[in-house]
Chains A and B, each alone.
Chain A
């Protein structure tokens, strides 16, 4: 009888802060996710064009050049990528910003610093 090994879900984490990338990466890995981290929206799109096996994108909102909101829009406008859940993170608790992201199709909006409980809640809900 053959057994099939279920691969770990793959999360793409996008943040221009090296500290935040380290923390979010560790948070996700401790929840048994495979994680790829990049430092910009542009780089995220490059990864997505090469690897379609991404189960969730978690991105900082405030980034230079391409914000997390811009990245969200690009993903949701793409026929190939639009089904990938996108989660935004920000240290600013701005209701306007949160509403705007959710209306654009974000799955969730986390306030930094992100906690293990945020990741657990998020992953069990979004990754179903």
Chain B
């Protein structure tokens, strides 16, 4: 069967955007008029996905320089769209500073015995960090100028951020602690608002990432390349 070139995807560096018709891979295959029955073994899927990922990471280096690029994709590769998207999503999240290498270290702990480990840990993180932020909010109100108490709570939150590689959020936690050290109430309040904002943004971005990973299925379990 001759390969058929699909219309290009358009990527932006700020956030990954898929033209709507490509979001549903099944719709793309049928709209292109090609029906290709994919009966690949998991090993083949993994190998294919790994080679696709490598090629796109090469292209993704262009993303970091702020230049958008337009990859062309072929009909038989449509199957891998969710995996491609999830890989690039993570790449962009790291390049934009939302996540750091620690996130990749946690992902590397996944195996057949714990295939969803990183999502489980991230879920724990958002549950626990919500509680910690609530404690901080109450402390800011109930214990005015109690910088030691505020700092102690924020130290816990900062630790959790550090453990999952939530880099931007961690930095805002550190700003808060700096303000505590300076006895700067206004600084603490400002920083805390930023912590909350980063928390909300990160939650949204990671939810999208995990949704893509779930769509990717077995291909999403391929080994990540060295960055």
Binding site for B on A (CB under 8 A): 16-20, 22-23, 26-27, 30, 62, 91, 112-113, 115-116
Q: Is the CB of A26 within 8 A of B109?
A: yes
Pick the contact of B160: A20, A27, A115, A116 (CB < 8 A): A20
Q: Chain B residue with minimal CB distance to A24?
A: B163
Q: Which residues of B contact A30 (CB under 8 A)?
A: 109, 111
Interface assignment of B51: CB less than 8 Å from any CB of chain A: no
Complex: how many Å from CA A17 to CA B216?
A: 31
Q: Is the CB of B105 within 8 A of A22?
A: no
Residues A23 and B106 in contact in the complex (CB < 8 Å), given A18-B124, A112-B163 = yes
Identify which of residues 111-165 in chain B touch chain A, using a CB-to-CB cut-off of 8 Å: 111, 114, 117, 120-121, 124-125, 128, 155-156, 158-160, 162-165
Q: Is the CB of B163 within 8 A of A23?
A: yes
Binding site for A on B (CB under 8 A): 102, 105-106, 108-109, 111, 114, 117, 120-121, 124-125, 128, 155-156, 158-160, 162-165
Looking at the assembled complex, report how far the CB atom of A66 sits from the nearest CB atom of chain B, in whole angstroms.
15
Complex: how many Å from CA A26 to CA B8?
A: 41
Q: Chain A residue with minimal CB distance to B158?
A: A91
Pick the contact of B159: A91, A115, A116 (CB < 8 A): A91
Q: Which residues of A contact B109 (CB under 8 A)?
A: 23, 26-27, 30, 116
6 A-B pairs besides A17-B160, A20-B160 with CB distance below 8 A are: A19-B128, A22-B121, A23-B106, A23-B164, A91-B162, A112-B163
Q: Is the CB of B160 within 8 A of A22?
A: no
**Central interface residue in B102, B128, B159, by most chain A CB within 10 Å:** B159
Q: Is the CB of A19 within 8 A of B163?
A: yes
Q: Is the CB of A112 within 8 A of B111?
A: no
Q: Which residues of B contact A91 (CB under 8 A)?
A: 155, 158-159, 162
